[in-house]
Structures are given as C-alpha cells and as structure tokens.
Amino acid sequence: MPRKKIPRNLKASIAVTYFKPQGVCLKHLDTVTLQADELEAIKLHDVDKLSHTDAATQMGISQPTFGRILNSAYTKMSTALYYGKAIAIQASHSRMLKNHTCSTCKKL
C-alpha cells in the first residue's frame, strides 16, 4: 500500500486551467492532466533556475520526490505537445503559502 501524499507548498495560484492547440475545439481533443505541484516544479526549476535541492526545500519535499514530480511533468507536457493534446491543470495535494510576494512585481 503506497504512503499517503504529503501536501506540497505552492507559492503561486494557478492563473489558467487549460492550454490547448490553437484552432481545435476543446471537446475534440484528448487531455493530459498536469497537477499543480508538477507545474510549480517546472516553474521553480526552469523559470526560477533553482537547483533540485533548493526547489525541493521550497516545496517542502525531498529532492528525489522533486525529481520524480519534475520528470512526470516533463513527460506529460512532451506527450501533449507532440500529440496535440490539451493540458488541464488541476490542484491536488498542495497548499498555498500565505503572504508570499511575487519576486517580479512585489505584490502578494
């Protein structure tokens, strides 16, 4: 029996819930579901340029778990891009950190 998932710390709320190829109606597309923690892992690693260790610390998880989350996210995104699938972003097993200010605009 697998262990219970530990809630991950997320700094930003999800701005959008779907991405899809242009010109194709959403009802005609297959969908790949990207979890909010996978999106946060991509942001911390690729946008913020944090190491796996630093990003894992910010999310409140171990470095190996961060690596697995990141690998899962890359696989899902690559599949969606290659096969022209929609990407649904879904929140689960995560908690928003309160009073976090954006590093770019300095807003809450």
40, exposed or middle or buried, with CB in 10 Å at 0-12, 13-18, 19+? buried
CATH of 8-92, one of 1.20.58, 3.10.450, 1.10.3470, 1.10.10: 1.10.10
Give the model's pLDDT for residue 12: 63
Distance of CA 96 to the CA centre of its chain: 13
pLDDT tens across 29-44, in order?
A: 999 999 999 999 999 9
pLDDT tens across 47-90, in order?
A: 999 999 999 999 999 999 999 999 999 999 999 999 999 999 98
Give the model's pLDDT for residue 108: 47
Contact yes or no for 85/32 (Cβ under 8 A): yes
Write out the DSSP string of the chain. Answer: -PPPPPPEEESS--S-SEE--TTS-GGGS-EEEEEHHHHHHHIIIIIS---HHHHHHHHTS-HHHHHHHHHHHHHHHHHHHHHT-EEEEE--SEEEPTTPPPTTT---
